[in-house]
Amino acid sequence: MPEVVSLPTLDQRRLDEVRALLDEVGRADGRPPLPEPKQAQLHAAGGDWSGVLAHDDARLVGYAHMRWAPVGAEPRVQAEVVVHPDHRGGELAERLADEVLRTLAGQGGGVLYLWARRVADPSATFAARLGMSVQRRLALMARRLEAAPAAPRLPEGLTLRAHRPGVDDAQLLRVNNAAFAGHPENGDWGPAELRRRRALTWFDPAGLLMAWRGDELTGFHWTKVTDDEEPTGEVYVLAVDPSARRLGLGRALLRAGLRHLYAQGCRRVVLYVDLADRPAVELYGTEGFTTRQVDVCYEQWVEPARASPGVGAPARSQGRPRDPGEASDCSL
């Protein structure tokens, strides 16, 4: 039976093991097992994250990534569990998740958000078996681009142009935060978050299309291009200012982004959307996107352990359970 251990930091040898496991699982599944921000943490020194590792003899066969909230914030952890294909179907995912729960309890408790990927039945996952409740469901949707989409028809008085870093920042943040108020990933961005995302290797200002009415931004479509086996486009962020809704701007921006992605050589486009956002799901469906898989975020409040804090993570401050009416954070 694999040995499971929680570590507050990973030395270079452990990091190399984890990256090798993620690469192998990604090749087997056809998709990176960790979302981009968490994968990037494995290449950065320090940071508010720790790991749970499962070894079968000397071979790493399982990993749980724990991303901790900043010290002083409401205590919470976002976790991802990765299991080698040869060890799926058993109890390893549950054992990794159970160790995550123990580690969080040892660090003062708090809210745990735990993702399960490629879920057909939310009541039959390892997280559900541990008694966790569903917080939200995220769909991966995709479509082919066999021909160049027609030029979009913008609402009257609007013009479209590419992003100018350092010039358009304040307007972009204003529209983003208005469009995604209370959103767990996209809401409440500041200049530092915008700089972080623009520093990603794939960022291209020409792929961030912005719709203006004079000097006022009304919406934007931030596209992304990755080049794996074939260039693949992504609807990274599509935002419309609340004052400009119901004008058809969202559809126009979507089509403008698809046209840009086609010109970049992308013949496949993907996006992620919260299934609770029915208008967005319906928009993408009418534009040819279909659901390819569903990921589920589970949540659970973890009481503090009576013993002193363990060694699984940096010491955390205690806090209160999340009020059901508050926005939560389940970053990808």
pLDDT at 316: 42
Residue ranges of domains in the chain, CATH in brackets? 3-138+295-302 (3.40.630.30), 147-266 (3.40.630.30)
Give residue-wise pLDDT tens across range 114-154: 999 999 999 999 999 999 999 999 999 999 999 999 999 99
Give residue 97's pLDDT. Answer: 96
Please report the pLDDT score of residue 73 as a whole number. 67
pLDDT reported for residue 48 = 81
The pLDDT tens digits for 184-229 are 678 889 999 999 899 989 999 999 999 999 999 999 999 999 887 7
Q: Which long-range contacts (CB under 8 A, 24 or more apart) does 216-219 make?
A: 216/171, 217/168, 217/171, 217/172, 217/174, 217/175, 217/241, 218/158, 218/175, 218/243, 218/244, 218/249, 219/175, 219/179, 219/244, 219/249, 219/250, 219/253
**Residue 135 contacts by C-beta under 8 Å, 6 or more apart in sequence?**
113, 297, 298, 299, 328, 330
For residues 297-311, average pLDDT: 79
pLDDT tier, 293 (very low <50, low <70, confident <90, very high otherwise): very high
For residue 177, pLDDT beyond 50 = yes
Reference 293, options 145, 142, 86, 186; nearest CA is: 142
Contacts of 177 (CB under 8 A, 6+ apart): 187, 188, 189
Interval 58-101: pLDDT, tens: 999 999 999 987 666 677 899 999 999 999 988 999 999 999 99
- Structural Rg of the chain based on CA atoms: 21
**Is the per-residue pLDDT at 288 higher than 70?**
yes
pLDDT at 324 (0 to 100): 29
The one-character DSSP state at 264 is: T
Say what the pTM is.
Answer: 0.81
How does pLDDT run across 11-30, given as a tens digit for each residue?
999 999 999 999 999 999 88
Q: What is the pLDDT of residue 330?
A: 36
DSSP three-state, residue 205 = helix
222 beta partners: 208, 237
